Amino acid sequence: MTKKPLILGIETSCDETAASIITENNQGKPIVLSNIVLSQIDVHKEFGGVVPELAARSHMENIDLIVEKAINKSGKKINEIDAVASTAGPGLIVCLSVGLSFGKAFSTSINKPFIAVNHLEGHALSPKLSFDLDYPYLLLLISGGHSQFLNVQGMGKYKRLGTTIDDALGEAFDKTAKLLGIEFPGGPQIEVLAQKGNPHRYNLPKPIFNKGGCNLSFAGLKTAILKIAKSIKSEQEKFDLAASFQRTIEEILYKKTKIAFSEFEKHNNLKEKKFVVAGGVAANNKIRSVLINLCKEKNYQSIFPPLEFCGDNAAMIAMVGLERYKLKKFNNLNHPAIPRWPLDEAAAFLKGSGVKLK
């Protein structure tokens, strides 16, 4: 029997130190043997957000232990690993450098190929860890650092249809939570508070709602939250503002996703229409519900990776590594950390934001 590739994935783009071992079965479907993620919430809590230098220090203190745990849990031995895949960008450069350097050193020590992975490509391929998913499909990536609609046409073939021109959606959730006095990381708590509030109490702005194609903007919404939050005098008003924010996000994503569907259909001859939502914000149940209902309206198959693969993790990095290993697409050990690294490098740029408004 032919030996199946065994890939070590390493992820340190922000504030999670993660390592994973994956392989595949006889049908070529990925098998996750281990997926270890160490969160740094306690490290950054008192600062109300991620401090890059502290995040990098935590990565350095823990990366070897996390990789060891991933290998031990997989039941495999170091000399069985066929390649090492590390996130090279985008992300915080001081954090990226830790995992990238470790991955290069590890691959050298076992004399196996090194693969530099784009973090966004990890999210793009993350549903393949759990679903039998063929190309093409439309991806909505919504996380703390990124908000994009991507036409995933094949391995290494990505066309960006829309992106945020300012804040990422996860960042908007976290900043809103901070303004409401919710302890970091507060973004996931917005949905919980919203259940206690009146979603129609506040009429919040929806930037570029009626223009810009399926591009997104959340900075104006955050500014409106800032102004209202200063005048809040009761817990109920806080609940109402959280609910109004949640409703506004749902309405923005509903409309922009409909536009993205139309753009996606223009670029593909589709037998099946598939829509994937990935990234940390994909864990928001209300957003899931709205997008699932939209998919039913437009005859799309809706796909959400399991929660463990929504946020930053190393299994998705190993998944890219596995695909690239089979294609023999390896990288030199001088590959740099790239803090800004779009998947669609042909996308038009506007004021450095990577957006062309229609």
Structural domain count, the chain: 2
| Predicted pLDDT of residue 354 | 41
Domain with residue 315: its CATH number is 3.30.420.40
E strands along 25-172, which residues? Answer: 30-39, 83-89, 114-118, 137-142, 147-154, 157-163
Does residue 26 sit in helix, strand or coil? coil
How many alpha carbons lie under 13 Å from residue 207 in its C-beta half-sphere?
Answer: 17
Q: What is the pLDDT of residues 56-85, one digit of tens each?
A: 999 999 999 999 999 999 999 999 999 999
| Residue 113, domain extent | 7-128+309-326
Q: 141 with 120, same domain?
A: no
| Segment holding 96, helix H or strand E | helix 93-110
E strands along the chain, which residues? Answer: 7-11, 16-24, 30-39, 83-89, 114-118, 137-142, 147-154, 157-163, 274-278, 301-303
Q: 222 with 258, same domain?
A: yes
Q: 180 with 279, same domain?
A: yes
- Report the candidate in 348, 350, 303 with the shortest Cα–Cα distance to residue 161: 348
Average pLDDT over residues 205-215: 96
- 17 with 66: CB under 8 angstroms? yes
Q: 285 with 208, same domain?
A: yes
Q: 278 with 168, same domain?
A: yes
Q: 118 with 154, same domain?
A: no
- Would you say residue 274 lies in a domain? yes
Selected residue with higher pLDDT from 122 and 267 = 122
Enter the tokens of residue 49.
Answer: 């957000």
Does residue 283 sit in helix, strand or coil? helix
How many alpha carbons lie under 13 Å from residue 326 in its C-beta half-sphere?
Answer: 15
Q: What is the pLDDT of residues 280-330, one digit of tens each?
A: 899 899 999 999 999 999 999 999 999 899 889 999 999 999 999 999 999
| Predicted pLDDT of residue 75 | 98
- Report the candidate in 356, 330, 325 with the shortest Cα–Cα distance to residue 23: 325
